[in-house]
Structures are given as C-alpha cells and as structure tokens.
Amino acid sequence: DAGVIQSPRHEVTEMGQEVTLRCKPISGHDYLFWYRQTMMRGLELLIYFNNNVPIDDSGMPEDRFSAKMPNASFSTLKIQPSEPRDSAVYFCASSRLLPETQYFGPGTRLLVL
Amino acid sequence: EDKVVQSPLSLVVHEGDTVTLNCSYEVTNFRSLLWYKQEKKAPTFLFMLTSSGIEKKSGRLSSILDKKELFSILNITATQTGDSAVYLCAVGSRDDKIIFGKGTRLHILP
C-alpha cells in the first residue's frame, strides 16, 4: 500500500488566496483526520471523519477553514481566504476501526506570505 | 479541558545514555495512551498503552502507563544518534478524540 498520500507537499501563497490541500487515505480505512502542526501550538486536530461523515470539527479555527470528504478515498481541506498565521504543516492521517491506530501522511508545508 | 503535558520540552544527552520522557494527562473518558516518534517528517507510531503497569517494549524503547496517577513514561536505553527526534504523547478518549502533547525534542550527541 502506498500509505496516506497528500498533495501538494509544499505550497507558498499570498494572503487572501484560496488554498486547497488534498488527502488520499489508505484503502479500507474508515477514519480520516486533518491536523495542523506549528512550533508554538504543536500538533492540533482540526477535524475528523468516520465513514466520510464529519464527526468533530471543533478544532477548525474559524469559518475560513472547511473540509470535505466526498468519498472514502479523497478529502480536501480548504482555507479561504488564507492568512499568514495559517502557515504550518498540515497532516492528514487515516485509521481503521480505531482512531488510535492512525497512519500519517507526509504533510503539506504551507507558507502564506 | 482535556490536556496532555509532556516533559521535558527538550533534552540533550550523549550517545549511550538512557533517557526517560514523561507524559501526564487529564482526559475524560480515557481509552488509550500513544507514543509517536517524529523525525523530519510525519509522526510514526511507537506504542499504544491501555492497561496500567504492563510494560510495552520494542528493542531499546519501552513504555509503561499508570492510570491511577495519570502518566506514562517512555524509556530509551543505550541511545543512538538515530534516536534524535521529537517524541509525541497522545491520549485517545472513548468519544474518539485524540489529544496530543507538544512533544519532547530529544537530541543525541555523538
């Protein structure tokens, strides 16, 4: 299995632009998680899905952030409009049966200028 | 509010030393405690602990959980430069939340 796939791996954009991050979970996994990691705040859970349904989005910072999972093999995290404070590494992770047994993707390093 | 606190925040030791990393938590509906290793990329899973007092071991790494005192330790013996990484502790709850600590940055000097 290829593992969790994320794209792009790096993104540099200007403040105010829309950013879309993509994730393909491991086939057969029924949980999908989006995390943000910064030096100051560490690894923060933004939202997670179970069987394509958003279960907990309490970690989503504000209305500028949205996430979708239209099918079992694809999810997006969108930031519109982006701000410099959104600069971080965004990880997607997936797991089967239990959230604890999650595998992380390589991350997308986002820089908003 | 649920929280996971790791200590120390950073640690520098010499190759061959033994280190102990600490993780304390306050999480309602505790289900499991997890340790991850993060080098320059994504976190990779090390251990999942659910029962008190049972040591989990993998090579030079071992971990144990104390559910009464609400903490866990991760031990690394005979450290090597390849052990340099950020070690993350996370707690899983019965409502499927995962809460991460901020990590301990470990640097092993040759």
Q: Which candidate from A91, A100, A106 shows the least CB-CB separation from B98?
A: A100
Q: Which residues of B67-102 are buried (b: 16+ CB within 10 A; e: fewer)?
A: eeeebbbbebeebeeebbbbbbbbbbbeebbbbbbb
Is A39's pLDDT higher than 90? Answer: no
> A42: pLDDT confidence band, cut at 50, 70 and 90?
confident
B46 in contact with chain A, both atoms CB, cutoff 8 A:
no
Task: Give the residue on A whose Cα is nearest the Cα of B45.
Answer: A103
Q: What number of C-beta contacts closer than 8 Å exist between A and B?
A: 47
Angle at the Cα of B18 from the Cα atoms of B12 and B20, rounded to 5 degrees: 75
> 3-class DSSP state for residue A86?
helix
Q: Is the dihedral of CA B12, B13, B14, B18 positive or negative?
A: negative
Q: Which candidate from A31, A91, A101 shows the least CB-CB separation from B42?
A: A91
DSSP state, residue B69: T
Is B34's pLDDT higher than 70? Answer: yes
Q: How far is B102 from chain A (nearest CA, A)?
A: 5
Do residue B102 and residue A91 have CB atoms under 8 angstroms apart? no
Give the pair of three-digit tokens for residue A97: 């049966």
Contact residues, A window 18-77, toward B, CB-based 8 Å cutoff: 31, 33, 41-45, 48, 50, 55-56
Q: How far is A41 from chain B (nearest CA, A)?
A: 7
Cβ proximity of B56 and B62 under 8 Å: yes
A30-57: average pLDDT: 93
A44-66: average pLDDT: 92
Cα separation, A5 vs B19, whole angstroms: 34
Is A1's pLDDT higher than 70? Answer: no
Cα separation, A9 vs B99, whole angstroms: 25
B7-17: average pLDDT: 97
Give the pair of three-digit tokens for residue B52: 């008190």
- pLDDT of A2 reads 79
Share of chain A above pLDDT 90, in %: 82
> A101: pLDDT confidence band, cut at 50, 70 and 90?
confident
Out of A75-84, B16-25, B58-67, B93-102, pick the least confident: B93-102
User: Is beta strand B104-109 parallel, antiparallel or unpaired with respect to A74-79?
Assistant: unpaired
